[in-house]
Structure 1
């Protein structure tokens, strides 16, 4: 029984060493994720007495900015993933 435990222990160490070596050989350094991709777009401010259409226009502009940001970040990710293949 002791022999079995020793065998399992050395097998575990061997697997761990192989994992470390494989990770080191396959190491990929990803480019920094653009800070812009982490930004949140705030809603348009609701100001008392402001016309509804004005608020809606500002809200739509905020949505357009967020959609453009999403497109830039998706392109960044797609280009990075393509470079890893």
Structure 2
């Protein structure tokens, strides 16, 4: 059976700066990266980044799907005042 993993991150509250886009590009040379998103599919290998850290530093939402049944969604919520 072949492997399939899908990673998507969204920046909703604030777009990534050019510098931040360069930083996330270092984690994947094949990902589609814009100021508001990061998407990548893997059919072999694995993502080098830490999704929790990506949401903490850059993005507001994360979706992960794998063909072996793992599904994950992360949302960054604002701190209460």
Q: TM-score, normalised by structure 2?
A: 0.24
Specify which structure has the higher proportion of strand. Answer: 2
Specify which structure has the higher proportion of helix. Answer: 1
Q: TM-score, normalised by structure 1?
A: 0.23
